Copies of this chain bind each other. A is one copy, B any other.
Amino acid sequence: MANRTPGGENAALFLDDLHVGQRFTSGAHAMDEEQLRAFAREFDPQPFHLDAEAAKGTLFQGLVASGWHTAAVTMRLLVEGGLPIAGGVIGAGAEITWPRPTRPGDTLHVESEVLELRPSRSNPGHGVVTVRSETRNHLGELVQVLVAKLVVPRRT
């Protein structure tokens, strides 16, 4: 991807480097049935995340990933270069929606856009940056929208 940052620190962005409308694209992650079931066994043990046969009779009509699994994979893609912020990707809170579920075989990537920048009230060395991150599958279908408030350091 164009803005992957394998070099790490060199490419990391401070508050001063960000502007509204700035966009980033992550790498990709392929989801398979075993990953879905392993996450669900540990964190979301419901039939529509665990058992393809049982899932057919549910609202989802087949096996789907936990929404929290989609969120966790999105975070991995942001941390690995999808959002190259100095000091790391640190969220204070977020709004999240799952317009459709992630299914086995989906390959996900994340497209992010800076929506707002403001100084931190409590910490003058930092700002709060609102970022909208859309997670899409390989067909371009939207599986998650995350609007997160991130804590980002100023360049000192």
Stretch at the interface among A12-20, A66-74, A106-114, A131-139: A66-74
- CB pair B98–A44 under 8 Å, yes or no, is no
Is A96 part of the binding interface, using a Cβ–Cβ cutoff of 8 Å? yes
Is A46 part of the binding interface, using a Cβ–Cβ cutoff of 8 Å? yes
Q: Cα distance A68–B144 when bound, in Å?
A: 14
- CB pair A79–B151 under 8 Å, yes or no, is no
Known contacts A87-B59, A91-B67, A93-B98; A75/B151 CB under 8 A: no
Q: Which of A71-130 contact B (CB under 8 A)?
A: 71-73, 75-76, 79-80, 87-98
- CB pair B87–A92 under 8 Å, yes or no, is no
- CB pair A58–B87 under 8 Å, yes or no, is yes
Closest Cβ of chain B to A9, distance in Å, is 12
Determine the residue in chain B with the shortest Cβ distance to A145: B93
Known contacts A59-B87, A95-B95; A66/B75 CB under 8 A: yes
Determine the residue in chain B with the shortest Cβ distance to A147: B95
Determine the residue in chain B with the shortest Cβ distance to A91: B67
B residues near A88, Cβ cutoff 8 Å: 46-48, 58
Q: Which of A29-67 contact B (CB under 8 A)?
A: 39, 42-48, 58-59, 66-67
Contacts from A to B (Cβ < 8 Å): 39, 42-48, 58-59, 66-68, 71-73, 75-76, 79-80, 87-98, 151
**A93-B95, A93-B96, A96-B96 given; 11 more Cβ-contact pairs under 8 Å:** A42-B76, A45-B76, A46-B89, A58-B88, A59-B87, A59-B90, A67-B91, A71-B71, A93-B97, A94-B95, A94-B97
